[in-house]
Structure 1
């Protein structure tokens, strides 16, 4: 046989063996299992592993494949089994992992050898390798999409749901108490859940009773020294201290809930998860209400304080002049709603917030004014453009500072920035609905009525002479009409182009 022919036969054999190498099976739970593996665990498999994605012919009988395609969900539940690029009894195999590192992980079985002794598994949407079927157990579960905190110590973490006779203990919740976990699967009876870390590392099966916070969400205040705020319940392996209560006296927090025995409490601060603290460090504030909202600070003459205004121990932290124009996140309010707590700022008189005037459509009437992230002169403001750049466009004036000096502009449904109110004016139009024929070709079609500052010419009525168009808006004077043709917006045209 010539060398070229031999090379061709080998090449075509490899193509047959690797047929479908890159095609992921439409597997049971394949979407959900993508959350079960960390990026670092996505082992790079040599190309020989891809043999699993095709069906290799038996040399003794080329018509009989030795691999069969399947689509099954299973759990790796036994230690001591290698994972390879090929079944264990085939030449050229390479070890790419061990079952020990994936106990409890739910996988998709995409291929099996004809005798059923070896299975090719996908983990987290990636072809991983071959493993003995004896290391796998058929998974009986339902996909879920939730998260919760481990709040009960001393509960086993198992390789299968705890009621399974083949379940092995692979950990204990005491090593993870206080940790927030993702709940990816639930056992058929609903008593157990499969948990992963927030970065999708597999943990194992837990009893539902080991999860969940006790108590209602409340407002609290740090009121005692000599305690730490930690990422996990104090004493849990891997826990890190994020704050000392002695440095946070008087700080307001959201009490999310506690362990079942009430000893430790989970806190959120400024709207974000903060950590766990000994419950004795917290004073519950029944006189303060949770009030989740956002609003703009539009008056600059109010103080920002550590406590609601009028509280004897309150310390002034600044003034609203320092944050004028900021869109603040409001977390708490006093019983009478007179004062609110804004995240990262402090307590502020409610009167400092909100626009007194309604929003309206406006246009730029003068150029050379800066458009800024906050009203000009506010600390940390940044200039993002100038009014000239927005001439000829319709803008939404969302509101004005309470002294009337600065206006907040929106464009195309998103905040644009603050501008001196002298740069903008209302664009007074009325909504109408009728049709008209363009009868004069000597007029321009503009982005705004021709008389407005910055109006840009978009076309000419000569291009639409004799067309019947739709009129959706008019200026209050009736001098200019806004024209549409076949649902396409053309622009503003002088009313005289219609013989009016």
Structure 2
């Protein structure tokens, strides 16, 4: 071994020199040696020793790209090379520790963005020099960004940790809030700015411009009401122009309203500002001269009193103090307490001549009211009291029931006789009052109710039962105003246990009938096996009072009625249809019946087939010999309105043909201005109508409004004279008052029928000087059945079903006009 060492002494020294250089450079590898050299080197390895360790905290830039980065200082026991400085060349890193090795190399422990990288020779780093902050000041003021070329940084530029976040150009002209200022050693003052509560960063202060504020000269705490009498003022968060002011609202919103002023401030421009509140909510600052202070009513005298009175006027305010005195507020209205008995504890006379009364109700103070809205109570006196015991029936439903005889001191109305009308009560005491009224203390089923005027009661004379019959049939409760009793009403011991209204329309079973000497037949009824009691038999069936055979034609003009096997409500009737199915259809009436409820019923047939009984009011007797001229608007080359490939002329003719068919089925003679898609002039239509002998003229159109596709609905026109459009062929009759009146009646009849039967928007009956209305000598109307410009309405207007509905409604209107 020794020979080997001596033999390789020169090589070993050379190796040592190379190793020292590599050690300094921090290389990640050393030169390889022969096996023999390695064996000798391994046996004599000496690690680099650390002489000192120092915790530090500074930033540096990696300025050499040829160094290794190690887990420990290079050459110390256990170190490993894990990277190269070239990866981080030019980057700023943080140094947290330094170690000095016995080979003279200082090593630095570096991190980047908070993540530890490893150890590098300190000579590969250049320490960063930061600008020092000389002072920091907390501030709070607004400023405007007025320079666009500045950076906004995470810290003042050049100080440790600064980073450019954005540019001032992004916020040029915007108002920001400055919360802190820092002065750095290069003489620049930096401002920390926020926008809308969000911190933006640091900017050079000279890129900002501070506003010039008005100064507040004085502040006074006040408390008075005032009315806002000028509607052109702003309401601000602080007096206008002072630091921190911001406009919150406008005085126009509160014009005429009474507000409370709690503070005043005078600013250097001479304006006095008032801090106002409304209903306890602070509104802000307004110029004081936009307000008007009230002139208060003065109190001349105050008197303590103690009496009861009734509120007899419903239009008075109730106030916290007499109205118009300083600090008064309206807190209620006399209408809430109308006719109620209140207690008056104090009176005040004001300098405007009004006497005010302080009132309470049931021990709760309500406030001040004008005394002349009250009527002082004068109590009724009791002359005698008598104990009695007899039954009676409440036969008057308009009386009050009271805790004591009405008008005596302390009485209260607790109910009304209407709640007990027809019921039998027990009278246990009578009192005679000095106003001549006798009062009865009544009970029902052992429970005391209260005092009622004796004249509202009738002592019983019992009804007698003449006959009793066992029966077994079903019936329907058709009258909702009857009592249901334990026995026939008026017989001794009867009690009302319910009312027919609870069972209206229900089918019940009748098991017994009794006739009483007052001519009433009573039925004992049950529902689903449970006995309900006795009810007047005529509450179960509608009675026919007269029958008459007739023969006439009529039109179904109301679509909401049932069609029945017998007049509705009579024994055994059933509903088998509805008039809506036959609306506008002509039927034959062969018999009429009048029922006890006053309704006349008609037995109707269609094409020889009996449909059933319908209320005659749902029919209109068909006039005979009437001639109607129907004018389908436009035609031929004149298409009228056109939307989505649909021409107005087409649907005008479709509806007109249906109306023609309906009217002819009812016996009318119908003349059409056109039966096909042909052009007919306006004067030609009017001339033909005038010569036809027709009784009325009906022009059928559809509307459009190209500028507004949301407009829908039906409107009907009749003639109105316009001197700019004189008649051509109808000088004599165009403005005839009888013709105009009959035209208006025809328009109303058809418009009402159209709206009732289609559910379309009612755009009303209108007047215009349309040529066909002006030139016809007979009553004339023009119908606009819907807006083709509305996609929704056009979809309906083109369906056969809706055209049929329109035609039926027009028919109903024409029939109603001739009725």
TM over 0.5: no
Q: Rg larger in 1 or in 2? A: 2
| Structure 2 length-normalised TM | 0.22
Per residue, is there more helix in 1 or in 2?
2
| Structure 1 length-normalised TM | 0.31
